Structure 1
Amino acid sequence: MRLAPDVDVHVSTSDRVVDLASEDIHFAVRHGLGVAPGLLAEVLVADDLVPVCSPRLIAPRRVPRVTDITGARLLHDGHRGDWRLWCEANGALGVDCNQGVVFTHSNGSIEAALAGRGFALARQGFVAQEIAARALVAVRSAALATPLAYRLVHRPEVLVDPALRGFRDWITAQATAS
């Protein structure tokens, strides 16, 4: 915002699908596989998923193992099937992926993991700072690559406006830096 103080930015955190063609909205950040015809989409955050937990949960060890993960310790977000996919990919076939606490959004499962309540399957980009600070530790395993991603969606013509193009450049740079 300091780079362009004359640009007005309004942020709405909603799951509501917006119509960029008919509403007065230039950009949307959406999670999913792709976009509608006539729109451009740029990946902001890829969706590789990794299990994380608080170091307190596995103390005195410093690194969690796949065998530490049990159904009762699973922290789910709205994508409950992700744990099943991760367990299959990492040979954790004995884990009951229907168990555990379900949160509406991923921030709930991450907060619960930070509090030592279990294992969250988190997007690596969303927990990188917590892992670097050792507030969370990642299980040594393969991350689960998914085709989903957070994307900046917009109509092609909005990039004609230098201020809007500048916003697009700024937000994509911020996403890349984190």
Structure 2
Amino acid sequence: MMLRQRRFLPNLSLLMAFDAVMRCGSVTAAAQDLSLTQSTVSRLIQTLEAQLGRPLFRRDRRRLIPTEAAQRYFRDVSAALDMVQRASMALIANPDGGTLNLAVLPTFGTRWLAPRLPHFLSANPGVLVNLATRFARFSFDAEPFDAMICFGQDDWPAARHLRLFDETLTACAAPGLLADRPVRGPRDLDGQVLLQLETRPTAWAAWFAAQGAEPPPAAQAMLMDQFSMMIQAAISGIGIALLPDYLARTEIAEGRLRPILREAVPGPGAYWLVWPPEKDDLAPLRAFRAWLATQAAAGAPLPSPGACG
């Protein structure tokens, strides 16, 4: 284990004062945030600068203007303080069990994972799962996550991969829209608004190919960044949604949307659990991997329609 050098580990009170000044924009606001006097906060900042051997702020009358170095330092210090706080909260809330910090795609998390998660928690008492949403890839070295459920291919750099299931796609529209403009074949989508997820640029091409057709030239694409937004837009009659089949089934069963042409056609990617190799032996992650593999392999159905919200 590397020996930690005191010079590079400022006292927590110094770091919290620095963090507060950077967040609040002034010594006065930082003092209020920390319930300290302005003179105390100023003294803590000066002590931190002395320990680091360089100024973090330019003094302009009574204002502190952060240097570029201070801006970089703040990003790392803020992330470190967040990590310490999260670890402390997890220890207090769950002193006898393990904690899994999981990043997940927003709609997948709410519509596929959340309804099934009580089963995992009941089978693994003492394990706490912290969830946060992420759209894009990140570095596990820079983010406080043990794993992520993502979509795409098995090409996350320096990570382990567990394939959950391939995505299949079903096109859906509101009953009222289909009553006005029936769809009996791919060409009937000409001139329709096709709702497109930003992260699935080839999804509609894959869907039309599975129908044995080319995308109609007059179709209009409307970009969305989340499936939940796309679903609401389709329910409102704005256009036709192309949804993962596990999402479409719920909306179809409840009558909010109707499927168009061939359902559950192959999509351009799969869902994966990814994690850094150094977390292989993390007990909560081992348990979660085993449970998740079982759920995916069994094609575990959703709870009764409407249970996912």
Deviations 1:63-82 (Å, cap 9, x if unpaired)? Answer: 84334423332111113432
Give 1:29's match in structure 2, choosing from 118, 139, 149.
149
TM-score (norm 1): 0.78
Q: 1:86 Cα shift?
A: 2.5
2:199 matched to 1:76?
A: no
Alignment of 1:104-119 (within 5 A): 104-119=225-240
**RMSD, matched Cα:** 3.0
Within a 5 Å distance, the mapping from 1:61-140 to structure 2 comes to 64-66=183-185, 67-78=187-198, 79-93=200-214, 95-96=216-217, 99-140=220-261
Letter of the 1:132 partner, please give it.
A
Task: Provide the secondary structure at the position in 2 that maps to 1:167.
Answer: helix
- The answer on whether the counterparts of 2:156 and 2:274 sit within 8 Å (CA) in structure 1 is no
Supply the AA of the counterpart residue of 1:65: R
State the secondary structure of the residue aligned to 1:102.
Answer: strand
Deviation of residue 173 (structure 1)? 4.5
Q: Which moved more, 1:117-126 or 1:23-32?
A: 23-32
Residue deviations 1:31-52 (CA, integer Å, cap 9, x gap):
1111336532223342222211
Q: CA deviation at 1:29?
A: 1.1
Query: Within 1, Cα distance between the matches of 2:178 and 2:161?
Result: 40
What amino acid is the match of 1:111? Q
* Structure 1 residues without counterparts, runs of 5 or longer: none
1:40 aligns with 2:199: no
* Structure with greater proportional helix content: 2
Equivalent pair of 1:83/1:97 in contact (CA under 8 Å): no
Q: Which has the higher mean CA deviation after the structures are superposed, 110-119 or 153-162?
A: 153-162
Shift of 1:13: 1.0
2:266 equivalent among 128, 134, 145: 145
Partner of 1:160: 281
Separation in structure 2 between the aligned mates of residue 72 and residue 59 of structure 1, nearest angstrom: 14
Q: Deviation per CA, 1:90-135, whole angstroms, max 9, x where unpaired?
A: 2444623661322122322222112222211111122221122232
> Any idea what SS the aligned residue of 1:9 has?
strand
Kept in 2: contact 1:74–1:97 (CA 8 A): no
Select which of 267, 284, 290 maps to 1:169. 290
Alpha carbons 2:161, 2:273 under 8 Å: kept: yes
Distance 1:77 1:90, change over 3 A: same
3-state SS, counterpart of residue 18 of structure 1: coil
Rate the CA distance shift 1:110–1:70 in 2: closer, same or farther, 3 A. Answer: farther
Paired positions, count: 177
In 2, the alpha carbon distance for the partners of 1:113 and 1:170 equals 33
Decide whether the 8 Å contact of 1:58 with 1:64 is kept in 2.
yes
